[in-house]
């Protein structure tokens, strides 16, 4: 059975260059045999966090939140595609993520960051690492940081030139790492129930 991977993306900007990278991640994971799905925070449009999913009485959470909770619970792993805002996280992706907690537990997560500049969202990448670990995910050691995204992927998310070739090499290793941890998690959950 194919690994079920959610690719989460959170920019709300009108000119979203990072969607190229999110689409690239979904297509590439799918080509590798995963059942990959894009979760676009702007399309889901959860409100600013007031109550977490678990704080609603059963059956009373907003429909979009209920649907997403089911997708998160059913996933084998996650990829967070994030831009960097002033050395920090994109608020749209962070807001979407914070609506849930136990739903994330005991699965691997990988971080793919980007920026228009040279650093490729490295500060946000690092910030997400600690946050996802705190939220119960195993954060894989491989990461992808895409600088100058407009020179790396075209508007359809196809790799461009040397920068695109570098992304392909880095993403291949990243996907191998995620796949290994996804398989390990599935086997362990089949062998022994999580402790909480």
- Residue 196 in domain: no
- Residue 52 in domain: yes
| Ranges of the chain with pLDDT below 70 | none
Residue 195 has what pLDDT? 87
- Residue 78 in domain: yes
* Domain of residue 53, residue span: 4-191
Question: What is the total count of domains within the chain?
Answer: 1
Residue 41 has what pLDDT? 98
- Residue 140 in domain: yes
Residue 1 has what pLDDT? 83
Quick one: three-class SS letters along the chain? Answer: CCCEEEEEECCCCCCCCHHHHHHHHHHHHHHCCCEEEEEEHHHHCCCCCCCCHHHCCCCCCCHHHHHHHHHHHHCCEEEEEECCECCECCHHHHHHHHCCCHHHCCCEEEEEEECCCCCCCHHHHHHHHHHHHHCCCEEEEEEEEECCHHHHECCCCCECHHHHHHHHHHHHHHHHHHHHHHHHHHHHHHHCCCCC
Residue 196 has what pLDDT? 84
- Residue 99 in domain: yes
- The CATH number that applies at residue 84 is 3.40.50.360
What is the value of pTM for the model shown?
0.97
- Residue 109 in domain: yes
**Per-residue pLDDT reduced to its tens digit, 90-118:** 999 999 999 999 999 999 999 999 999 88
- Residue 69 in domain: yes
């Amino acid at each position: 059975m194919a690994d079920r991977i959610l690719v989460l993306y959170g920019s709300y900007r009108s000119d979203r260059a990072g969607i190229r990278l999110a689409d690239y991640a979904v297509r590439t994971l799918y080509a590798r045999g995963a059942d990959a799905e894009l979760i676009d925070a702007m399309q889901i449009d959860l409100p600013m966090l007031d109550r977490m999913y678990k704080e609603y009485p059963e059956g009373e959470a907003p429909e979009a939140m209920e649907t997403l909770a089911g997708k998160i619970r059913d996933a084998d792993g996650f990829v967070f595609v994030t831009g960097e805002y002033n050395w920090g996280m994109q608020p749209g992706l962070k807001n979407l993520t914070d609506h849930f907690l136990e739903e994330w537990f005991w699965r691997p997560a990988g971080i793919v960051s980007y920026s228009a500049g040279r650093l490729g969202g490295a500060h946000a990448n690092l910030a997400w690492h600690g946050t996802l670990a705190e939220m119960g995910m195993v954060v894989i050691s491989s990461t992808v940081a895409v600088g100058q995204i407009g020179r790396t992927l075209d508007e359809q998310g196809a790799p461009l030139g040397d920068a695109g070739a570098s992304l392909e090499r880095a993403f291949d290793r990243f996907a191998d790492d995620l796949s290994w941890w996804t398989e390990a998690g599935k086997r362990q959950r089949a062998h022994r129930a999580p402790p909480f």
